[in-house]
Structure 1
Amino acid sequence: MLELSILGLPTAFFAGIASFLSPCVLPLVPGYLSYIAGGSVAPTVSSAEARIARWRILGLSACFVLGFSLVFLVLGASITAIGRLFLSYRYELNIVAGVIIVISGLLIMGVVRAPLWTQRYYRFESKASGGNPWSAGVLGIAFGFGWTPCIGPVLGGILALGATAQTLDQGMLLLGVYALGLGIPFLLSAYFMTPFVRRLGALRRTGRYLRIVTGVIMVLMGIAVASGQMVRFAIWLLRTFPVLGNIG
C-alpha cells in the first residue's frame, strides 16, 4: 500500500483535475451547471436569495459528482478484479500496465497525438428536467460513461495503475481519488460560477501546464511500474519528501 499512497493517490488526484481542465470538458461545464440548476446559474436577485441559490446549485452539483464518481468506482473495482485474475502473470501485467501508463502520459502532454475517437464524447440525453437531485445524479452517471472516450488518455492510465493494485479496495480508492480530483473543481465552479466563467481563458492556460506536469509524472510512474521499481521509487520519494508519509 506504500507505493500506492505515495505515488498513485496524488497522481490520481491531479489527473482528475487535469481531466476537468481538458479542452473537451472545461468549455462545457457552464452548460452542465445550467442544466443541473434547471435554468440560469447567475441569479440577478438580492444577495440573500443569491446565496441560497448558490448553495442549492452546489447541492445539485454534488449529486452530479456522486453520479460520475459511482461510475469510476465501479470501473476501478472491475479493472482490479480483472487484474487479480492474472496474478500468476503479475510480471507481464506490470509491464503492460507500465507501457499503457507511459503512453497515457505522452498523450496527456501532447507528445503523441491522440486518436480522433478520444477527442469526442457520447452525449446521453436525460428525459428528466433539471433542477432536482435525481436528474443531476442521472446526468452525472451519463457524464461518467459519455465522457470516458474524451478523458480516455488520463483515465486509461489511472485504470492501468488500478489493474496492478493488490486488492479491490486499493483499486476503488485510486479511482475514488481520481473522481475527487475531477469533482472538487466542478463543485468550486458551481459555487463561484460568475468568476469561473470570467476566468475560463486563464483556466485553459493553467490546464495546459497541469497536463504537462501530470503527463511527466505518469511517464515516470509507468517506467517504475514496468521495471518493477515502484516500491524503491516510493521509498526514495518518502526519504526525499517526508511530508508524503502523511498521505493515505
Structure 2
Amino acid sequence: MGSTFAGLVTDGPLLVAAAVSALVGLISFASPCVLPLVPGYLSYVTGLVGSGARTRTPRPDGDGGGAVATAVRADERPPRGRMVVGAVLFVLGFTAVFVSFGAAFGGLGRWLAVYNDEITRVMGGVTVLVGLGFLGWIPFLQRTKKLSLKPAAGLAGAPLLGVVFGLGWTPCLGPTLGAVNSLAFSEATAARGAFLGVAYCLGLGIPFVLVALGARWAVGATTFLRRHAAAVSRFGGAVLVVVGLLLLTGLWGEGMLWFRSWLGSTGFGEFFL
C-alpha cells in the first residue's frame, strides 16, 4: 500500500495531470455557478441560515426627552474556528463524491484498456464540446439543475451538504469535472483516477477553506473573480478546449510518454519514475 502511494506521488506524468486537475478545480470554484454561492454555503454549514440583525427597541433618554431610536446590528458571525471546521467538513463531503468518480473512471479505463485510446479520444471530443459550452457557444450546455435536498444546517449537516453539492451540482460542474474524469480514464487505474479526483478537490476546496479563514487576500480574490466572471468563464472554457484537443488528437498520451522518457534520461528520473 505504501509503495503504491509512493508511486503515485512521484510519477512525473501523473503529477502533470494532477496539476491540470487542480487548476480545473480552481476554475470550478471561480465559475459563475459556484462562486456567488460561497457565502451562502458557509453560512449554512455554520448554522446561520435565516439569522439577521437584532434591533434594540427605542427608549426614552435619561432627561425625559423624546425617545432615542437606536438600532444595534448584532454580530452574528460565528467564531472563525467553527467556520473553518464547517468548510472543511463540507469539502470532505464533496471530495468523497468526486474521488469516487475519479476512481470509477480510472477503473473503467483499466477494464477497457484494449479500447483505451479510442475511448479517450471520444471523451476528449466531449471535453471540447463542454468547453465550448463553458465559453457560451453552446447555450443548452449552460443549463444547470441541482438536487433540492437540504440537510440540516450546521456542522452536523456540513458533510452531507458537501455530498449533495457533489451530486446535485454535477450538471453545473460537468464541463470541468468531465475533463478530470477524461484524464482519470486515460490513466487506466482506479488509484490514479482517485488521485486526480483528490487534486481536483484541492483546487475546488482550498478556496472555500481560505474564505472561511477570513484571509483578506482570499476574500479580495473572490470579489475580483466575481467582478470578472465573464473573463473567468472564457479562460476556463479555453483550458477545457485545450485539454480536450490534446486528448482527442492523442497528443496528451504522446506528451506524457515523451515526458516519462525525458525524466528517465535526466537525474530526476530516479525520483519520478
Superposition TM-score, scaled by structure 2 size: 0.73
Partner of 2:28: 19
Comparing 199-208 and 66-75, the one that deviates more: 199-208
Amino acid in the other structure paired with 1:121: K
Conservation of the 8 A alpha-carbon contact between 2:30 and 2:222: no
Conservation of the 8 A alpha-carbon contact between 1:77 and 1:171: yes
Aligned-pair CA distance for 1:26: 1.5
- When the two structures are aligned, how many residues end up with a matched partner? 235
Equivalent-residue separation in structure 1 for 2:251 and 2:219 (angstroms) = 43
Counterpart of 1:123 (choices 136, 144, 148) is 148
Conservation of the 8 A alpha-carbon contact between 1:77 and 1:172: yes
C-alpha spacing 1:110/1:131, structure 2 compared with 1 (3 Å)? same
Matches within 5 A, 1:143-222: 143-192=165-214, 201-222=223-244
Counterpart of 1:78 (choices 91, 95, 104) is 104
Alignment partner of 1:3 is 2:10: no
Amino acid in the other structure paired with 2:23: F
C-alpha spacing 1:116/1:222, structure 2 compared with 1 (3 Å)? closer
Amino acid in the other structure paired with 1:70: A
Partner of 1:233: 255
Conservation of the 8 A alpha-carbon contact between 2:127 and 2:179: yes
Equivalent position SS for 2:90: helix
Q: Relative contact order: is structure 1 or structure 2 higher (C-alpha 8 Å, sep ≥ 6)?
A: 1
Counterpart of 1:105 (choices 122, 125, 131) is 131
Alignment partner of 1:137 is 2:146: no
Conservation of the 8 A alpha-carbon contact between 2:130 and 2:141: no
Equivalent-residue separation in structure 1 for 2:142 and 2:26 (angstroms) = 22
Equivalent-residue separation in structure 2 for 1:105 and 1:64 (angstroms) = 27
**Larger fraction in helix:** 1
Comparing 94-103 and 199-208, the one that deviates more: 199-208
Structure 2: segments with no counterpart, 5+ residues:
1-10, 54-72
Aligned-pair CA distance for 1:88: 1.4
Higher Rg: 2
Structure 1: segments with no counterpart, 5+ residues:
none
Equivalent-residue separation in structure 2 for 1:84 and 1:94 (angstroms) = 12
C-alpha spacing 1:95/1:201, structure 2 compared with 1 (3 Å)? same
Partner of 1:95: 121
Equivalent-residue separation in structure 1 for 2:187 and 2:74 (angstroms) = 49
C-alpha spacing 1:232/1:193, structure 2 compared with 1 (3 Å)? same
Equivalent position SS for 1:16: helix
Conservation of the 8 A alpha-carbon contact between 2:247 and 2:253: no
Q: Percent identity?
A: 35
Aligned-pair CA distance for 1:68: 0.5
Aligned-pair CA distance for 1:77: 1.0
Equivalent-residue separation in structure 2 for 1:204 and 1:59 (angstroms) = 25
C-alpha spacing 1:232/1:2, structure 2 compared with 1 (3 Å)? farther
Superposition TM-score, scaled by structure 1 size: 0.80
Equivalent position SS for 1:111: coil
Root mean square deviation of aligned Cα: 3.4
